[in-house]
Chain A
Amino acid sequence: MTRAKAPRAVLLVALPGAALLTLCLLSIAFGALSVPLGQVVETLFGHAPSARIDSVIWSVRIPRTALGLAAGAALGLSGCLMQALTRNPLADPGVLGVSAGAAFAIAVSVGVFGLGSVYGYIWFAFAGALFASVLVYLLGGVGRSCSTPVKLALAGVAITSLLSSLTSAIVLTDADALNRFRFWEAGSLANQNGDTLVRVLPFLAVGAVLALASAPALNSLALGDDVAASLGLRLGLIRVQGVAAVTLLTGGAVAVIGPVVFVGLVVPHLARILTQAAGIGPDHRWLLPLSAVLAPCLLLLADIAGRLIARPVEIQAGILVAFIGGPFFIAMVRRRRLAEL
């Protein structure tokens, strides 16, 4: 039995919650026009100090923050889910080809159909993500047995490189498409609006419900396929549910902010560190919600930093997430063995 090293409520609820709230406020306050926190709170309660502040906050900052929240939570959930399903701590939407599927579909929409707005390509991204994850799953799962983690990951990498090669082929032969595509590819929360969020939110919501509902089954799955099956878990069913959730979450998130790495891969590990510190162990009923809270923290942090570092130019959040995330991840690897699943 592990003894709790710190009060659970603090570690698992108060700390992540406070961090997220703070970052949301900062995300609303900072930018080209910085608003003092006091005035932000006043504006939120409908007493804006000036019309300009009012319009900036309500029509730009709040949608952008909400977008970061939704997309971040989706990436965190799908990463956590993928790691549990494949029992591979290195699984994430990027490795398993789901992001590449979305990117390929977007390249097709931009290069072949000439769509220039998020408005048009959300549906493409979505279809691409679905196509890729179903393909990975089918290929990884073909054969006499259910798919093994390594086989699944290999299938994912193969599909990733297939799709990104095709993406390069499209983008290389069309200068105009390259121009539009390279900005999206860097992963940004800018240039999006409330409509975008409204468009993907239903998918993200369904995906989140599916993901959270699978928590108890994932706990059984962590004991190994044989044990889980003998506990009465229907492996095929839980995998299909997982793939559906991952597709919805990743497709939605990638369509909105581009193929952002790191978040889906690392956040579940952070969540495991927290649950371990609280003496709970890797219980997916905690890990999934924690991932959904910690991931937007990271994404918002990167987004805020990107707005402030190189003013007036903005650096895309996706680039900063990777740039900050790399050293952070390496430090995590060096300090402790990443918690096993």
Chain B
Amino acid sequence: MTGPLPTRTPAAVTAPAPVPRRTAGRVPYRLAFPPVSGVLRPRLVAVCAGLAVATFVVFCWGMSVGEIPLGLSDVVKAVLGTGDPGTQLIVRELRLPRATTGLLVGIAFGISGALFQTMTLNPLASPDMIGITQGAGAAVVAGLVLGWDAGLSTQSLGLAGALAAALIVYVLAWKRGTTGYRIVLVGIGVSWICTSVTDYLMAHGGQFQAQASLGWLVGNLNGRGWNEVRPLAVAMAVLVPVSLLLGRRLRTLQLGDDVAHGLGTSVQAVRLVTLLTGVGLVAFGTAAAGPVAFVALAAPQVAQRLARTAWPPPVAAGLTGALMVLAADLAARELIPDTELPVGVVTGVLGAPVLLWLLVRANRVGSGG
């Protein structure tokens, strides 16, 4: 069991950071002026560009379908503020906010998942596995079933619940510092507690409230307007740049805490900032659309496999998340007429096969699992 050497985190829990056998080509560059050097990954850039284009297409396409079908060109015109006033009203007041919510929520969940998975070295350590979305769920269902909303909107309840759960996880995982591994395990414990509260409320509340709760719990874009978009957009304007700046420091953590320390990374500080950023993104995303299932877990994994990198790339993960949510919303409205299925139901159904297909295709040990 215990050898003479101090063991680090057990390899069974944290999959060893996969050693890429054949990463995509990396092109180191150095510019004399401005004095910048770095590594270009052509494949990653290509993947991001492809995802961005696909996301934009689905974003516009989603706004062109509905009660009154519109042409794509009309939609683009209306967004830019030209075209006839009627179309402008429909697009800018009804469809654009919904699509924007989907876009932002997807980006937020994707980036957040990438941060968590990189920090803990564990693809299963996404915010929807470690109690954060469950905390939001418990708070919202308590509000719906017990009437404890105290005048707060579902949005504020979700936000408060997510932040509270994250705080509890962090405090309980703190023991002379935190480790990614402890955060995951404690998070699972917290997620059980929150889920059991939700289950209790669902089983002992009235049927109408149970239905309403479930509708929120799977994640929904129905009836989302500018009021939902604003707080999310403001939060993301701050948090997304932070998460991109974290990238390199975060990746040194994959070498183990000691090595990271030796490379000049202040391990605990990076971990705390990462956690705060990831939680903030998820909390605001959940507040806007409910805990949309599976996006935070799958998007980074899909992006990692598309870009063939050794870690989930944040930008690609965010774009993948946005594409997932928007495509799911489109499918939910188009495939099954007369029912407005919540988007969260479809993200699971659409996203799971994609992830599974990638898992099957990456039929080599060590390609990220």
Binding site for B on A (CB under 8 A): 2, 87-90, 95, 139-140, 142-145, 148-151, 153-155, 157-159, 161-162, 164-166, 168-169, 171-173, 175, 178-179, 182-183, 185-186, 261-262, 265, 281, 313, 315-316, 318-323, 325-327, 329-330, 333-334, 337-338, 340-341
Contacts and interface: CB of A to CB of B under 8 A. Distances in A.
B364 A178 contact: no
B35 interface: no
Interface of B: 1, 7, 10, 12-13, 15, 123-124, 129, 172-173, 175, 182, 184-186, 188-193, 195-197, 199-200, 202-204, 207, 210-211, 214-215, 218, 293-294, 297-298, 301, 339, 341-342, 344-349, 351-353, 355-356, 359-360, 362-366, 368-369
B124 A157 contact: yes
A161 B200 contact: no
Contacts of A281: 1
A158 B199 contact: no
10 contacts: A139-B356, A140-B359, A158-B298, A164-B348, A165-B349, A265-B188, A322-B196, A330-B186, A340-B1, A341-B12
A77 B180 CA distance: 28
Nearest to A321: B196
A261 B192 contact: yes
A166 B218 contact: no
A162 B352 contact: yes
Q: Tell me if B's interface is mostly helix, strand, loop or mixed.
A: helix
Given A88-B12, A165-B347, 20 more contacts: A90-B13, A145-B365, A149-B15, A150-B369, A153-B123, A154-B369, A158-B352, A161-B352, A165-B294, A169-B349, A178-B207, A316-B199, A319-B196, A322-B193, A326-B193, A327-B189, A327-B193, A329-B189, A333-B189, A340-B12
A148 B365 contact: yes
A177 B25 CA distance: 53
A186 B294 contact: no
Nearest to A188: B203
A338 B188 CA distance: 14
Contacts of B362: 143
A330 B204 CA distance: 27
Contact of B13 (A89, A172, A261): A89
A338 B193 CA distance: 20
A330 B190 contact: yes
A185 B301 CA distance: 29
A149 B199 contact: no
Given A155-B359, A178-B211, A326 B196 contact: yes
